[in-house]
Copies of this chain bind each other. A is one copy, B any other.
Amino acid sequence: MEQLPNMRLTTQRQIILEELSKVTSHPTANEVYDMVRRRLPRIGLGTVYRNLELMADVGVILKLEVGGTQKRFDATVEPHYHVRCSSCGKVDDIDIAVQEQINQVAEKASNYKILGHHIEFSGICSDCMGKNQETDIN
């Protein structure tokens, strides 16, 4: 699970990637499934999971393991950071400079061979700011 293998170009894969590329909302697998199903009504949820996982392994998309119970996916693979709304669970990009140098700092401070890092901010989005933050915390 690391190199591009004999990976076939199937309709399902094309459409999953197209739909994911259309949005900036970092959808969950189930949300991708819903999006794709409008065009391919007979696609299985398993296929969506298998292909999202596969594309993430190959590096065509990004798998975000952020807070909340579900994994999220992102068609933007360039390194960048995220905010997650503590109230509604929405995830947005944070467009600030990537701190490349902290990998080395972290490597010196640990026994690990550091490969990378991700920053997840938490906060309250402008939508939830208005309504006195209800409940959720998805």
Which residues of A does B touch, CB under 8 Å?
A: 65-68, 81, 83, 85-86, 92, 94-96, 99, 102-103, 105-107, 109-126, 129
Contact = CB atoms under 8 A, between A and B. Distances in A.
B126 A122 contact: no
Given A112-B125, A118-B119, A118-B120, 7 more contacts: A81-B106, A95-B110, A96-B102, A110-B123, A111-B125, A112-B123, A113-B124
Given A65-B66, A66-B65, A68-B65, A94 B110 contact: yes
A113 B105 contact: no
B103 A115 contact: no
A106 B112 CA distance: 28
Q: Taking each of A86, A106, A126, which has the highest tally of chain B beta carbons within 10 Å of its own beta carbon?
A: A106
A5 to B, nearest CB: 16
A67 B72 CA distance: 11
A122 B116 contact: yes
Nearest to A125: B112
